[in-house]
Amino acid sequence: MKSTTKPSKPKSFTIFDFVKAIIDTKQDWNTFTPEQKKTFNNYMIHKFLSMNPKYIEIVNYIQGLNFKDNQKLYEVYCFMIPKSKNTYSPYIKSNTKKVSPEVAQHVAEYFECSLTEAEGYISLTDAKWLENILTVKGVDEKEIKKLTK
């Protein structure tokens, strides 16, 4: 009778495995295979470690050192970050709202400025201010309600 089980394919190594290795297992760099070492990404390591408030200052300091060599960066992080079983770090999402291009255009025309500056003005103010500008620009009430949602 033939075996119906498929040969198990080795699990691919991800950035999260490196984060766990830095925080928890503290593996030596030379224990990783060349394929695993290729998946190491400085930017992503900085990004995911900085999500944890306990490591922000360490990550900020290490980023300033600007390591080009992956091995050195890995070893410095292993040395500086205390060993912990808890490798969870909440993903911090941006809370900025997208500005409709039409609204930005109206504000840019009102202040006679660039669209980028208009988006900055919109992000600093409230909905009432925006409604007043759109009213002054001659936008009807139904359109204002639609644009400010």
pLDDT digits (tens, 9 = 90+) for 92-145: 676 667 888 999 999 999 999 999 999 988 888 888 999 999 999 999 989 988
Total domains present in the chain: 2
Higher-pLDDT residue of 102 and 149 is 102
Helix axes 115-124, 101-111, angle to 10 degrees: 100
Averaged pLDDT of the chain: 87
Q: Does 3 have pLDDT greater than 60?
A: no
Using the 3D structure, point to which of 46, 80, 114 is the last residue of a domain: 80
CB 77 within 8 A of CB 70: no
pTM: 0.58
The stretch 4-18 carries a mean pLDDT of 73
| Number of neighbouring beta carbons within 10 Å of residue 105 | 13
- Six token digits for residue 14: 């991800």
Using the 3D structure, point to which of 45, 80, 115 is the last residue of a domain: 80
pLDDT on residue 8: 55
Can you give the residue range of the structural domain that contains 56? 15-80
On whether residue 121 sits in a domain, the answer given is yes
Q: Does 27 have pLDDT greater than 90?
A: yes
The stretch 39-50 carries a mean pLDDT of 92
CB 23 within 8 A of CB 88: no
